[in-house]
Amino acid sequence: MKKANIILLMLFACFLVSCGDSNTRNVKEKMKSEFVTIDDSVKVHYKIWSPSAEQETTTLCFIHGFGCDMNTWEKQYEAFRDENMQLVFIDLPGYGVSDKPKVDYTLDFFAHAIDEVLNTNKIKDAVFVGHSLGTPVCRHTLMTTSHSGALVDVDGVYCFYDGTETPEYVEAINQFGHAFDGPDCREVITGFVSSLTGPDTPQEVTDYAISVMPETPQYVASSTMQHLVEREWWPNQQLSIPVMVICTQNSGLEPDNEQKMQTLYPNLNYTELTTCGHFIHMEQPEMFNAKLKDFLKLLK
């Protein structure tokens, strides 16, 4: 396989993400739906779990990936609802119960939605937990809004434009950005689901992805990916806040991935898995939740 094709496959593996089935992933059924409106008409769906006691709490803001909704975080809801923490679950515009307008789905647009949800609820600081596409969305929110806190990168996707990228790399990224343009979008998504799994991925996780991800509207999928790979969204800006990265070799990581993450996040807590698939928080929730709890202890 040509190098450009290998890179393209790796990008697919990093970008696509598992999702929850609303019949089995029940975050939405356990809390009241709330909505904020951005850009005059776009309704953004979210839910908040708050501890009953009136006291200072840590806020966890969970941002799903491509093709998903807030239900992908069911196991995190179960693990953290009794930890005296405020939990915020957001359906990004274009996904879940949020509106799906025919607009440009840029990182700015997604960050604006998160910003409005947090501002509406008077939340300033949060631990942003982003999976796959959700990672650059969280990173962009932290870089462009007044919110601060910490970042948890769950097998997040990155484009590296540092002046050393090869023509093959740029071409592969461009191909990826346009892979969802046509009427075969559903088939394109379905065909790459299998590349996201590892040797120990439960079949039910794959089944969720196959049943839910292809339901993403073609114009949403195409616009999201076209804009996501644009160079303007990928400055090599450091975030000095505490960052936990948990990723998997199954997503085609480069050997120097930890070093690359260190250049972006000098205050880095890094874990690289070998057998887990892309859906880390769903495939190994006990391990993931334990690492997240340990990370939160370090923030105190």
pLDDT tens-digit series, residues 29-38: 678 999 999 9
Examine the pLDDT at 26 and tell me if it is beyond 90.
Answer: no
Number of independent structural domains in the chain: 1
Name the residue range of residue 66's domain.
3-298
Tokens at 147, concatenated = 């919110």
Identify whether the C-beta of residue 134 lies closer than 8 Å to the C-beta of residue 114: no
Band (227; pLDDT cuts 50, 70, 90): very high
% of residues, the chain, pLDDT over 70:
89
By mean pLDDT, which of 20-34, 83-97, 101-115 is the weakest? 20-34
Residues 6+ away with beta carbon under 8 Å from 272: 247, 248, 249, 253, 257, 258
Band (20; pLDDT cuts 50, 70, 90): very low
pLDDT recorded at residue 54: 65
The Cα 110–Cα 87 span in angstroms is: 19
Chain segment 161-185, per-residue pLDDT in tens: 988 889 998 898 888 889 899 899 9
What is the chain's Cα-based Rg? 18
Residue 167 CA to its chain's centroid (Å): 27
Band (53; pLDDT cuts 50, 70, 90): low
Examine the pLDDT at 55 and tell me if it is beyond 50.
Answer: yes
Band (145; pLDDT cuts 50, 70, 90): very high
The candidate with the shortest Cα–Cα distance to 18, out of 251, 287, 219, 269, is 251
Examine the pLDDT at 299 and tell me if it is beyond 50.
Answer: yes
pTM: 0.91
**Count, residues in the chain:** 300
pLDDT recorded at residue 4: 43
Chain segment 251-266, per-residue pLDDT in tens: 889 899 999 999 999 9
The candidate with the shortest Cα–Cα distance to 299, out of 125, 140, 81, 153, is 125
pLDDT recorded at residue 248: 94
Residue 145: which CATH number? 3.40.50.1820
Chain segment 119-142, per-residue pLDDT in tens: 999 999 999 999 999 999 999 999
pLDDT recorded at residue 213: 85
Chain segment 186-224, per-residue pLDDT in tens: 898 888 777 777 778 888 888 878 877 889 999 999 999
The Cα 243–Cα 267 span in angstroms is: 6
Question: Contacts by 51-56 with C-beta closer than 8 Å and gap 24+?
Answer: 51/84, 51/85, 51/86, 53/84, 55/84
Identify whether the C-beta of residue 85 lies closer than 8 Å to the C-beta of residue 299: no
